[in-house]
Amino acid sequence: MNRDPSELLVGLPGAERILDGLDDFHQGRHSIPACLVRIATPRLVRAGLMPASIRRDDGAELDLYQMLAAEGTRAHSCYNALLRELISFEHALDHRLSKTQPGLPVIKPNLPANSHPSSC
């Protein structure tokens, strides 16, 4: 991890949420942004924002949904909106990295069905 996250992520969709999530993740705090970081781990590792020893947590999506439900929000629509924002972030990060690291393979995301961006 040798990059300044704020420098690399500035202007990307959802960057503030990811920056908050990186901080929460590294502090061991369980939060919605930290769940998003756990989901995005492969890209964040590839971007040099997380150590390569960190692996994607397959339970992150369920944790995210359960946190949203516990907050009393419209869990399903917020979950989908957050994942869509995360996918937009990942695409933008891939694009930015392709300019600075040519030849870097692109990771294809799994798109949630019937998801629509909204504010959560």
Is residue 119 assigned to a domain?
no
Is residue 113 assigned to a domain?
no
Kindly tell me the burial class for residue 47, based on how many C-beta atoms sit within 10 Å of its own C-beta (0-12, 13-18, 19 or more).
Answer: buried
Is residue 105 assigned to a domain?
no
pTM for the full predicted model: 0.81
Is residue 40 assigned to a domain?
yes
Instruction: Give the whole-angstrom CA distance, residue 16 versus residue 37.
Output: 12
Per-residue pLDDT band at 120 (split at 50, 70, 90)? low
Is residue 90 assigned to a domain?
yes
Is residue 88 assigned to a domain?
yes
What is the reported pLDDT for 107? 54
What is the chain's length?
Answer: 120
Domain count, the chain: 1
What is the reported pLDDT for 113? 44
The three-class DSSP label of residue 33 is helix
50: containing domain: 5-100
Per-residue pLDDT band at 98 (split at 50, 70, 90)? confident
Instruction: Give the whole-angstrom CA distance, residue 39 versus residue 86.
Output: 9
